[in-house]
Structure 1
């Protein structure tokens, strides 16, 4: 339950995913009560601005404090949702009669005790690259699937972007810049040759991403611990944090190229290879008069075919400012999720929170809007490798875990940026 402090702002009890007695429904109820309190505080702030040409400092602080509390509660709900998706400690197939695959059984022997014999025999039998140039073995498909599932759940850009798995180091993808060439003909009409399509070759190299979780010998000796789930859980946060930052701001050198690293131009000057932008009308902020108009312009700068599956992407500080905006009828543009685990919406479109997005500043591109499945492509090279190292950090055993991933824009017309400038 939420209580009220001496300044009237709701105080959300700390518990979150760690609180054994706090369920998802109760936490979501607290979040909705916080949103009601935020609306009330923000309405007071706006009323004071209209009457006095400025809001009371205490009212401003109260609205900001509630907004921060909502952010924290939303993160707790996300953590609780992710925790509920995790398999039990004995594994998802505990008690089932199905035996593990030969590769998985051999890999578990390697991870738990360092026995490489069975994995090397599998390599010789399959004549495949189970062993990498730098050492280490390919994890079984079950473990790779577990890592991929967890990354999709916690990496915000990966969750909405297009995804392609390849077996080579580089994906080369042709793209028709001027669209597919086609025409209408009758049943017996001649089929005239269409104009040659204008193709652009997009190149997506994959870069190495690593994590190095540590385990005690006691944990490795515990037969009840599911090795797939353990490795997936240990590397998910490290991989997700690095991926998320690179997909937004990566420079393309030893990491994917982020979508913020491409040239951005005013929408009226848009051309292939660049991302179109819409301005707010005021440097570093929304316009003082009709601030929501910039968001409306941003939405309709996108073609209808892309809007159907579009999302807003911004960081939590920008989202805090957006929460205070209303339409001409006095309705808040930002709306909380309707059920636990769902996303908040802005003008009916989902809001994805990506911390790597820039803060609101003069000329910043702090809000992206588009169909990210068509806009940005994440390329995974098949195979995750693990090298067991029992020597470097005694008495712990390190697991040098690597995967190769790349990324870049594949359709420059599928998203637009909001520029905080006049």
Structure 2
């Protein structure tokens, strides 16, 4: 099925092989480079761009986003295994009890599955599938550190400064050294919920794999809410997002703040050597963090970045080299997160860092389902909850680009 056509560029979701889809993406990028080169050449010679060229460039830019989105959806679909193989004779009593509860409200004798507050704890396979799909769908969860805990709050000690050391001769005195500085960061878990609905006829269908159905219904809703919180959450009944941290210019950085590099222009890149600020941002990060660093930005910011070149005329943005991979910027993976802000005066639309070390997501074990056949007749509602927290783990591992004078 063709989703979109622009200047001869077709976007076919799920059509053809991975190699064919990747070939289409590469062709679109070549078209983009040709049009952008023409735009830059006209700007250099005449001081103004052709509106038709600008319009065509934006259409190709949108096509590139569409190709990548289609490839991502196809890769996600292929990665989804059947939870229980569609077999009603799996022989697992607990899964059968959960299925009976979802379909008919029966709790049988397996009271271990009943939550003290009402509802039912989903089988382990379903819980793992929800988390796995969240990892694939949520861009921040895919690159951040993740811990599973059994309590409501996870406390993590971190050493801000190591113990003082020094060199001494064989007979020199060994004065006492200063102690290291330890900070404890708490990550409370907050309740995240979704409430899918189904008809009784659907639930009565013997072929329905209820574990798979629950996972499919809630994973997209959970992922959307999670990603928004991991980026911008204020910590009130939700995780604390990394953009909610106190910001400081990199020259005045201190623990407890996120450092940023300013572009020097309010709401824009500098007029000359635009790519220099991106290179500056890369090298604000210490070498140990750069090895596993990723860029995080939304698709509109990525569209603006695609037009930038280095001093030798090479494009900084490059499409994924393999099907299902990420685009790169200056050789580092680029992750799209639509909850990142757009380029604007004083905004921080670009983050760069080792998110595996810089941001921690805490999942409390257990996903609960409460069956409600009364509130929305003739539908049966399933109040599905999980508890998740999140916050910055290392303030030195993530840096931001701020579109401001200073």
* TM surpasses 0.5: yes
- In the alignment, what sits opposite 2:55? 61
- 1:104–1:142 Cα contact (<8 Å) kept: no
- 1:279–1:421 Cα contact (<8 Å) kept: yes
- 1:12–1:73 Cα contact (<8 Å) kept: no
Question: Residue 360 of structure 1 aligns to a residue in which SS?
Answer: coil
User: Is the counterpart of residue 28 in structure 1 residue 22 in structure 2?
Assistant: yes
Deviation at 1:190, TM superposition (A): 10
1:352-378 CA distance string (max 9 Å, x none): 000010100011111000000111110
User: Is the counterpart of residue 227 in structure 1 residue 210 in structure 2?
Assistant: yes
**RMSD of aligned Cα (Å):** 2.5
- In the alignment, what sits opposite 2:401? 418
- In the alignment, what sits opposite 1:127? none
Structure 1 CA distance for aligned equivalents of residues 37 and 372 of structure 2: 58
Map residues 248-327 of structure 1 onto 2, 5 A cutoff: 248-327=231-310
In the superposition, relative to structure 1, how do residues 66 and 172 fare at CA in structure 2: closer, same or farther (>3 Å)?
same
Structure 1 CA distance for aligned equivalents of residues 341 and 63 of structure 2: 21
In the superposition, relative to structure 1, how do residues 272 and 156 fare at CA in structure 2: closer, same or farther (>3 Å)?
same
- In the alignment, what sits opposite 1:71? 65
- In the alignment, what sits opposite 2:115? 131
Structure 2 CA distance for aligned equivalents of residues 11 and 362 of structure 1: 36
**Aligned match for 1:15, one of 5, 12, 15:** 12
- In the alignment, what sits opposite 1:351? 334
- In the alignment, what sits opposite 1:173? 156
**Aligned match for 1:84, one of 50, 62, 78:** 78
Deviation at 1:217, TM superposition (A): 2.4
Structure 1: gaps spanning 5 or more residues: 124-129
Question: Residue 383 of structure 1 aligns to a residue in which SS?
Answer: strand
Structure 2: gaps spanning 5 or more residues: none
Structure 1 CA distance for aligned equivalents of residues 209 and 169 of structure 2: 62
**Aligned match for 1:199, one of 182, 192, 202:** 182
TM-score by length of 1: 0.90
TM-score by length of 2: 0.93
Structure 2 CA distance for aligned equivalents of residues 131 and 223 of structure 1: 26
In the superposition, relative to structure 1, how do residues 392 and 265 fare at CA in structure 2: closer, same or farther (>3 Å)?
same
Structure 2 CA distance for aligned equivalents of residues 41 and 204 of structure 1: 48
In the superposition, relative to structure 1, how do residues 185 and 387 fare at CA in structure 2: closer, same or farther (>3 Å)?
farther
Map residues 367-386 of structure 1 onto 2, 5 A cutoff: 367-386=350-369
1:226-274 CA distance string (max 9 Å, x none): 2222111111110000000000001110111100011111100000000
- 2:258–2:396 Cα contact (<8 Å) kept: yes
1:128-177 CA distance string (max 9 Å, x none): xx4142x2111111110010111000001011001111111111111111
In the superposition, relative to structure 1, how do residues 215 and 222 fare at CA in structure 2: closer, same or farther (>3 Å)?
same
Deviation at 1:208, TM superposition (A): 0.5
- In the alignment, what sits opposite 1:147? 130
- In the alignment, what sits opposite 2:320? 337
Question: Residue 185 of structure 2 aligns to a residue in which SS?
Answer: strand
Question: Residue 42 of structure 1 aligns to a residue in which SS?
Answer: helix
In the superposition, relative to structure 1, how do residues 99 and 117 fare at CA in structure 2: closer, same or farther (>3 Å)?
closer
